[in-house]
Chain A
Amino acid sequence: MMNIQVKKSFVTVQDTFALDLNFQIEAGSFTAIAGQSGAGKTTLLRMIAGLETPDEGSIAVKEKWWYHSKKRINLKPQLRRVGMVFQEPALFPNMTVGENLLFTSNNTLDNIIHLTDIQSLIDRKTTTLSGGEKQRVALARAIAQQPDLLLLDEPLSALDNTTRYALQQTLIKVHRELNLTTLMVTHDQSEILRLADHMLIIDKGKISRTGKPAELIAGSQLSGKFQFQGDLISLSAEGILFIASVLIGNQLIQVVIDKQEAAELQVGDKVAVASKAFNPIIKKIG
């Protein structure tokens, strides 16, 4: 269990901006943090990691204070047991992939190397890696130190779709295997649906909504019109979610759905797809 209650004000070019957040995270959960740019998502992660100091409040992880303004507790980042993957891969250019991992930990890392699928990269210089490979290594390095908390700050946002999809698979695998409490900042709705079991939406410095991703994201789209009709040609399982492939005319559209929706659908059903705000959503029409 993790309790976070932080306030911080900033002076920006336009005006002052106040972040006032108060929430709890279940141990072992995968929580997505969404919200518009400049809503304070990255700052929140940085405050949890100890890279920035809140004006006031408290942060407790596993019943230990990491930060408490009244008790004057403010653990250094070194003591917080946080693994973090930044938007820009922060691999050390002077070291190989293996050396980057060993810089974190002297434990045997076979399991982590296998889990993140970087066996073939170990002896490479980090400067020769592709964007996706870099983030894969950055993830391996973040979990190699056996953190209490994994923070992901839009690590996949700069990657192309195929690479992003592969890394999402890896994140699912890592989370399932290690059961690490994970917080991920992301803009990508399908990413949230695929990875997260819990979601926070930050708006204007406050938490506007929390809940299950499928409910929040689907809920925000109820106004969308189901204007595209087609045939459901396949259903496949993806972690906790399912992918419905719908043929509309000669276009194949993939829709992420949850278990309950999948149970109500059958291959061959006529369905309608709405595509208003974010992702496509689906409903059975006959």
Chain B
Amino acid sequence: MNWEPIILTFQLAFIVTVILFVISIPLARWLASSQSKSKPVIEALVSMPLVLPPTVLGFYLLVAFGQNSPLGHFLNDIFGLQLIFSFEGLIVASVIYSLPFMVQPIQSGLANLPKNLKEAAYLMGKSPWETLRKVELPNIKSSLLTGIVLTFAHTIGEFGVVMMIGGNIPGETKVASIAIYDEVESLNYSAANKYALFLIVVTFLILLTVYFINGRSFKPLKG
């Protein structure tokens, strides 16, 4: 079995999860507490990847990042970034594609936290940042973990977006799901089976570990 697609898949999932974790906390906090009129718009945009076919997202990213688009041109000229058929492109696409899987659990965790916890911390002179770090996040560990796991798993399972924007370049964009498709197309079922089975076992073990920890450490919050 060629390990390259597997390693690439986990690299991608890891990087995407880290990036999304950092982006999603402020976004989720804003969504959980804001009363702004633009909130429904942002919420709808964040949730779009849940309902859109991955090919739609992939198609527009392909158009947006392509050499013929002003954005693609700009990224290439200024930063030397080539987002089509590259690992970097996969990261950007996956971040957009998996955004709701990180934002939604954190948002609902923060929204369900009693409001007076935050207020009590403010009255003690704590800044919003310190309150987030020391009061809010430690009390929604289980939501954070859910967001991390869902994002990681969702990125591993990605296919359509990768197909559209990444293609099938070994060591660059050929992730496990693409490798399986590739092997099946060349009627190489036993190789496809190895990749598929490996993914099943590893993802099951990750999920099992996480839910085991989750069930043991985090009891539902009371008052």
Contact = CB atoms under 8 A, between A and B. Distances in A.
* Max count, chain A CB within 10 A of own CB: residue among B116, B120, B122: B120
Contacts of A93: 139, 221-223
B123 interface: yes
Given A145-B124, A145-B125, A77 B119 contact: yes
Contacts, number: 59
B135 interface: yes
Nearest to A79: B125
Interface in A116-149: 127, 134, 141, 145
Nearest to B124: A104
B123 A82 contact: yes
Interface string B100-118: 0000000000000010110
A113 B121 CA distance: 20
Given A94-B135, A94-B139, A89 B123 contact: no
A90 B114 contact: yes
B116 A49 contact: no
Nearest to B141: A94
B122 A127 contact: no
A88 B115 CA distance: 10
B223 A88 contact: yes
A200 B125 CA distance: 29
19 contacts: A77-B119, A78-B126, A78-B127, A84-B119, A84-B123, A86-B119, A88-B114, A88-B116, A90-B116, A90-B119, A93-B139, A93-B223, A94-B135, A94-B139, A103-B124, A103-B134, A127-B219, A127-B221, A141-B124
Interface of B: 114, 116-117, 119-127, 134-135, 138-139, 219, 221-223
Interface of A: 49, 51, 76-80, 82-84, 86, 88-94, 103-104, 127, 134, 141, 145
